Amino acid sequence: MIVNEPKQVIVVRTDLNMRKGKIAAQVAHASLGAILNYAHQLFEGEIKINVEHEAVREWLSGRFKKICVGVASEAELLEIFNAAHAAGINVKLIRDAGLTEFGGVPTLTCLALGPDWPDKIDAISGHLRLL
Q: Which tens digit of pLDDT belongs to each residue from 4-58?
A: 899 999 999 999 999 999 999 999 999 999 998 888 766 667 777 777 889 999 9
User: Taking a C-beta distance cutoff of 8 angstroms, is the pair 49, 60 a contact?
Assistant: yes
User: Taking a C-beta distance cutoff of 8 angstroms, is the pair 124, 78 a contact?
Assistant: no
Q: Which tens digit of pLDDT belongs to each residue from 94-127?
A: 999 999 999 999 999 999 999 999 999 999 999 9
The reported pLDDT for the residue numbered 52 is 80
Domains of the chain: 7-130 (3.40.1490.10)
Phi, psi of 9 (to 5 degrees): -115, 130
Q: Does this model's pTM top 0.85?
A: yes
Which is nearest to 114 in space by CA: 44, 33, 40? Answer: 33
Write the CA distances from 46 to 4, 5, 49, integer angstroms: 32, 29, 10
